Amino acid sequence: MGTDILNYMVNHNKNQLNEIFHALADPTRREIIHMMAQKERTVSELAEPFDMSLAAISKHIKVLERANLVERNITGRTHICSINAESLSRASEWLRFYEKFWSNRFDILESELLKAKNREH
């Protein structure tokens, strides 16, 4: 039924946002995203800057994969990780809905500054 599909989609979307925001809540994972944004990297390249075991880094990559933030291409024994921007854009979309709140704040600040400036003259 139509509403069942709609409910499924709403719930699926909610769960995905949970996974995405959870994945972003860790500085190591954000740094991994940053590294993949520069170029695609092997798992060992991603592990290099961190004072962590390869197993610990692999766990972080798995959290990113669950959130669909990483695409992993396996050629032979090499796993190449690249960024999946679609999930980032979903999180960004969610936040953008609230943009008016902070842009309003900037508008208020700007008009206050203008008023202050005009008083100076």
Using CB under 8 A, list all residues that contact its own copies: 14, 17-19, 21-22, 24-27, 30, 33, 37, 83, 85-86, 88-89, 91-92, 94-99, 101-102, 104-105
Nearest distance in Å: CB 116, its own copies: 21
Query: Rounded to 5 degrees, what are φ and ψ at 9?
Result: -65, -45
Measured from the CB atom, the residue of 45 and 71 that comes closer to its own copies is 71
Q: Give residues with Cβ within 8 angstroms of 41, minimum separation 6.
A: 35, 80, 81, 82
Measured from the CB atom, the residue of 10 and 54 that comes closer to its own copies is 10
Other CB atoms within a 10 A radius of the CB of residue 5 amount to: 9
Nearest distance in Å: CB 83, its own copies: 6
Measured from the CB atom, the residue of 98 and 120 that comes closer to its own copies is 98
CB-CB contact of 57 with 50 (8 Å): yes
Q: Is 53 strand, coil or helix?
A: coil
Measured from the CB atom, the residue of 79 and 90 that comes closer to its own copies is 90
Nearest distance in Å: CB 48, its own copies: 20
Distance CA 70, CA 59 (A): 13
